[in-house]
Amino acid sequence: MPGRHITNRQVARYMHARQAGRTQVQAADSADICERTGRWLDHAGRAAREPRSYRTRVDPFADVWSSSIVPLLRRDAQLKAVTLLCELQRLHPGRFADGQVRTLERRVRQWRATEGPSRPVMFPQDHPPGWQALLDFTVCHELGVTIAGIALPHRLGHVCCPHSGWQYAQVILGGESYPALAETLRMALEALGGVPQTLRTDSLSAAYKNLRQQEDLTVRFEALCQHYGCSPTRNTLGVAHENGAVESPNGHLKVRIDQALRLRGDRDFATLDDYRAFVAGIVAAANAPRAEALAVERAALSPLPRFPGVTWTEALGTVSRFSLITVLGISYMVPSRLMGHRLVVRIYDDRLEFFAGRERVHSSQRLHDPLRTRLVHYRLCIEALIRKPGAFARLVYRDDLHPNRTYARTWERLRGSLGEHAACRTYVRLLHLAHRHACEAALGARLATLLDSDEMPDAEALRAEFAAPVPGALPVLHFRTADPAGYDALRCLPKPHPPQVATA
C-alpha cells in the first residue's frame, strides 16, 4: 500500500510464495503488497529489512544514564523506573516529566537484559504418587464472611498432594497454632485415606522454632509426624516459591470461594458449621476431576494409624470463687460445682475441653477476639444469680450475660422504668425463665414485640405464657391384694408322679 513500509513478515511470505512457484501477482496478493513492490523485491533480491541502528527521537536520559542511573541499578537491580524517575526529578528539578517514565522503563529493561545480574531459575520437580503432602495456612479475612451478622476473621488450613492435585481445606479460627496444624493434618489424612511419605510446610511457628538458625522441630510436631509415619520437611526460610504446589492453589481456592459467595448472593451464614459445609462443597467440586489421579495416589499411600494423633495442647488452671478459670490470658466461666478444683484444659483451635482427672466435666468455645478478655454465659451462673438478683446491677461482666441485643434492650428499659433494684429482680427472673424452660429464642421474640409496642415486660405474665405446665396430683392406684391362705392350699396338693418310660 502507498505510504506504508513493508514488514519483514510480508517479505518472507512473498519470497516463500515465489519459491513455491506462484506468479508475481499471486505472491504479492498473498503477502498483501502491490505487484510493483513484488517486482522491486525480485530485482533487488532483498531478503528482509535490516534492523535500524539509529534513534528516531532524542533520548532524554542520555546525559544522566551512565552517571546517575546505572550506578543506582548496579547497587540494587530491583529499583523500579518510577523510583529512578522520582530521584532524577529531585536531583534535576523541572527537567524530567512524569510522562517520560515509559521511556525510562524500556531503557531499564534493556539494561537488565544486557548487563543486569543473573536471576533465580525455577527447576521443575517430579512428584511421584504418595510421596508428599504440603500444608499451609492462608488468611481469608478479605472474603468478608459473617456468621449471624458478625464478621468472621479466619484462615484456611490447606493441604495439597502435588501428584494428583487433591486438596483439603479446614476453617481455622485462630492463628497458625499447633492445634490448628494438627487438626488440619488429621482431618486431611482421614479424608485422603492414607499417609504420604513426607509432609512439607513452611517455617510455621507451630512446627519449628524459627529463632534458631538450625532446624529444630518442636517436640509436639515431631511426635505427631512420628505417629503418622511421615517425615517432616520445610522450605528455606523466606523462600515461599519452594512450596509453590500449595502457595498457588491457596490463591485459586480463595478465588473459588469468593466466586461461589458471589453466586450465592450473600456472605452471611447462620452458623459456623454451615460455612464449613459450604467450603467443603467447593473443595469437593474442585477434587472431582482428579478422581483418576487420586486413585493412583491412594494406592501408594501408607495406611493410617489405628488411633488419631494428639491434636491439642494442655494447660492447668484452678477455678476461682467467681466460677472463672483463666486459659491463655482469657477467663472462661465453668459450672460453679467446679470452684476450687484444678482442671486440665485441652486446647483446640475452636474449643476448650476441661477435665477433672480423666473425666471431661465441661467444654467451651475458644475465644480468639483480641479485644475480649472473658467468655461467660448466663446459663452457667443463673441458678446462683436467681438467689442474689441484686448482684446483677454492678456485675463486672453484666453486659456479657445478655443473650442478644433484644435482652440488652429489655434490661435498659427495665432499669429506666422500674429502678435498679426492681429491674434486677425482673430481668434475672426472665433469664431464669429462658434457661429453665429452654425458650430463649421464643422469649426474645416476645420481648422484642413488647419493646416495639412500648409495653413493660411482666415476668409473671411471661412465665405463665412460656413455662411448662406443672403436672397435677399423681393418680391413686388401687391394687388388689391376694389372700395368703391360697398359697397354703397349693402346698397341700399331692405332688404329680413322673411319667413312666417304657424300656426295650
Reference 12, options 41, 52, 40, 35; nearest CA is 41
Q: Taking the CA atoms of the chain, what radius of gyration do you get in angstroms?
A: 40
pLDDT for the residue 216: 43
pLDDT at residue 492, as a whole number: 72
pLDDT at 472: 60
Find the angle CA(31)-CA(35)-CA(40) to the nearest 5 degrees: 95
**pLDDT tens per residue across all 504 residues of the chain:** 556 777 888 888 888 888 898 898 898 888 888 888 888 888 776 555 667 777 888 899 999 999 999 999 999 999 999 999 999 999 999 999 999 999 999 999 999 999 999 988 888 888 899 999 999 999 999 999 999 999 999 999 999 999 999 999 999 998 888 999 999 999 999 999 999 999 988 766 555 554 443 344 478 888 999 999 999 887 665 555 555 455 788 899 999 999 999 999 999 999 999 999 999 999 999 999 999 999 999 999 999 999 999 999 999 999 999 999 999 999 999 999 999 999 999 999 999 999 999 999 999 999 998 888 999 999 999 999 999 999 999 999 999 999 999 999 999 999 999 999 999 999 999 999 999 999 999 999 999 999 999 999 999 999 998 887 656 666 667 767 777 777 777 677 676 666 665 554
State how far the Cα of 289 lies from the Cα of 287, in Å rounded to an integer: 6
Torsions phi, psi for 330 (to 5 deg): -120, 135
- Buried residues in 151-172 as b, exposed as e (16+ CB within 10 A): ebebbbbbbbbbbbbbbbbbbb
Helix/strand/coil for 236: coil
With 0-12 CB in 10 A as exposed, 13-18 as middle and 19+ as buried, what is 494? exposed
How far is 197 from 21, CA to CA, in rounded Å?
64
Q: Could you give the maximum distance between any two Cα atoms of the chain, in Å?
A: 147
Residues near 59 by beta carbon (within 8 Å), at least 6 away in sequence: 65, 103, 107
Tell me, what's the pLDDT at 11?
Answer: 85
DSSP label at residue 217? B
- CA dist 339 → 324, 359, 391, 427, 461 (Å): 8, 16, 19, 26, 35
Phi, psi (rounded to 5 degrees) for 245: -65, -15
Q: CA–CA distance from 494 to each of 362, 483, 490 (Å)?
A: 66, 21, 9
**Cα–Cα distance, 113 to 289 (Å, whole number):** 41
**Torsion over CA: 110, 115, 118, 123 (sign):** positive
Pairwise CA distance, residues 15 & 491, whole Å:
131
* Whole-number pLDDT of residue 213: 37
| Strand order, beta sheet including 313-318 | 313-318, 342-347, 351-356, 359-365
How are strands ordered across the β-sheet holding 324-327? 324-327, 330-333, 374-375
Euclidean distance between CA atoms 324 and 345, whole angstroms: 13
Q: Which pLDDT score is estimated for 96?
A: 94
